[in-house]
Structures are given as C-alpha cells and as structure tokens.
Amino acid sequence: MAIKNIADGARWMGAALVLAAASGCATGPGANPADPIEPFNRGVSRFNETVDEAVFVPVATAYQRAVPSMVRTGVNNFFSNLGDVWSLANNVAQLKLQGSAETFMRLNVNTFFGLGGLLDVATEAGIPRHEEDFGQTLGYWGVGAGPYVVLPLLGPSTLRDAAALPVDRFGDPVAQMNDVAWRNSLSVLRIVDTRAQYLRASRMLGEAALDKYSFTRDAFLQRRQSQVHDGNPRDDGAGNEPADDGGGQY
C-alpha cells in the first residue's frame, strides 16, 4: 500500500510538472528567472484562489467560530506532534545531531506527558521545534530548488519540493493509517485547522499586496531558502541571488 501511494503520487506530480513545462513556451523573454512558467503558475494560482474562497475559507471560518480556541490549539498541537515524526527522520538524514536529539526529546515529552501531543509541554520546557521535510533534505545535500511551481490545490512549491512530495506523503503518519475512515477524517481536520490559522493573514495579504501572486512567490522562495539553509540562504538554483551567508554552517 505504501509503495502504491508513492507511485500514485509520483504519477500525479509528474503529470502536473509536464503540463507546467509545456506551458513554458508562453513565457516571454523578460520572465523572472525563478519563475520561467509564470503564465501557467498564475492560472493555477487563480484556480486555487477560486477553490479557496468557495470551499476552504467558509469551512475554516465556520470551524474557527464553532470550535473553542483551546480545542483548536490542542488539534494543532496534535498534528504538529505527528509532524515531528517525519521531521526527526529528516533531521537524521541531514546529520543534524542537535536537531535530531531535540526533536526526539520533543516527541517523547509531548507524546507521554502532553496527552498524545494535545499539549505542547516540550515548548514550555524550552525544547525547540526543528521542522524538516524531504525537500529540505534534498536541498541540504545540494539539490537545487529548480523553478517555482504552483501546484493545484497544494499551492506554492518548487520543482525539487514537488518531486519530494510523494516521499513526504510516505513519511506522514496520517497518510499511512490503514483505517480509511480515520485517515480521511484526520486529513480533512488537519486541512481545515491549517487553513483556519491563516485566515487573518490571507485577508491582510489580499488587502495589502498590489500583486498578490508576485508577493506570495517572492515570500515563499525567500522563506524556503531560509528553511533549507537554516537561516543562511544561498543560491539554491531557483534563480534567486544568494544572501550573505555570514560563513554559517548547515
């Protein structure tokens, strides 16, 4: 089942990327080097915004209004704790000893003393979170980000991160649950909870940004570089100029 999930995800992602590459011929000579398939990406972005406004925003708003803040915090803590399982694997894959040790400690503290992760006891105890995914692991070992890509429903990404998604799905504890009803219910709850957290930010972005697409793209690429290089962004092959790395280490 796990192998089938990876294969299905890879086929779906491959189809999307082929379509994106095919649309690149419509890009003019003055295109942003980080975004060579901008016309395609803008079209997908408009589609995503339409679906978001029609489906996700109303559901997330209702969830935010109906569910007490304390309960929403517990839900978010629970999914964050599950995410630490995959973060631990990627910290180990990147040979980050401190990140691995602290993530392992977070998992144990929150799972056993935080009621299965509903309470974030680890943060209260001063144990930091080190979020890592497979795209970051690839970047750590020198795989360039590649061009910016907007994926249907999933949003901003890069070629490297899009290719890493099937592996990230394989490492997701929720996606690997055998009980279909529980898996689907938890997946929907996580999506709604995540969207609810960004309701205010998305409203502010829509009101403030002159070009929402460009602002989102540039902010995403800058943030992603920082994540991959632990706050010392460098040229990662996405057409972005490297910032001063200050001699920092991975």
Taken in order 209, 49, 190, 192, the sign of the CA dihedral is positive
Could you count the other beta carbons within 10 Å of the beta carbon of residue 140?
18
C-alpha to C-alpha distance for 83 and 107, rounded to whole angstroms: 10
CA–chain centroid gap for 185, Å, is 20
Q: Annotate 93-122 with b (16+ C-beta within 10 A) or e (fewer).
A: bbebeebbebbeebbebbbeebeebbbbbb
Higher pLDDT, 247 or 197: 197
Rounded percentage of the chain residues whose pLDDT exceeds 70: 80
Asked whether the predicted pLDDT for residue 96 surpasses 90, the reply is yes
Compute the distance between CA of residue 218 and CA of residue 201 in angstroms, rounded to an integer.
Answer: 16
Whether pLDDT at 246 is above 80: no
Q: Is the pLDDT of residue 211 over 50?
A: yes
| Averaged confidence pLDDT in the chain | 87
pLDDT computed for residue 237 by the predictor: 60
Distance CA 241, CA 95 (A): 27
- Residues in CB range of 139: below 8 A, 6 or more apart: 145, 160, 228, 229, 236
pLDDT at 223 over 70: yes
- Least trusted range by pLDDT, from 2-11, 112-121, 159-168, 171-180: 2-11
Q: pLDDT-based confidence at 243, cuts 50/70/90?
A: very low
Kindly state the average pLDDT of the residues 43-62: 98
* pLDDT(249) > 60: no
- Gap between the Cα atoms of 149 and 219, Å rounded: 14
Q: How confident is the model at residue 229 (pLDDT cuts 50, 70, 90)?
A: very high
User: With helix as H, strand as E and coil as C, how does 194-243 read?
Assistant: HHHHCHHHHHHHHHHCCCHHHHHHHHHHHHHHHHHCCCCCCCCCCCCCCC
79/193 Cα distance (integer angstroms): 9
Between 202 and 210, the higher pLDDT residue: 202
Is the predicted pLDDT of residue 9 greater than 80, yes or no?
no
pLDDT 10s digits, 199-208: 999 988 888 7
Higher pLDDT, 56 or 203: 56
Question: Which tokens in the block code for residue 233?
Answer: 């962004």
Structure tokens at 24: 């690149």
Give the start-to-end residue ranges of the domains of the chain: 2-23+44-228
8-state DSSP, 29: T
Q: Which of 7-21, 69-83, 190-204, 215-229 has the lowest mean pLDDT?
A: 7-21
pLDDT for residue 6 is more than 60: no
Question: In the structure, what pLDDT confidence band is assigned to residue 236 with cuts at 50, 70 and 90?
Answer: low
The stretches of the chain forming alpha helices (DSSP H) are 2-23, 38-51, 57-66, 69-93, 97-113, 121-124, 134-140, 159-170, 180-197, 199-208, 212-228
Q: How confident is the model at residue 1 (pLDDT cuts 50, 70, 90)?
A: very low
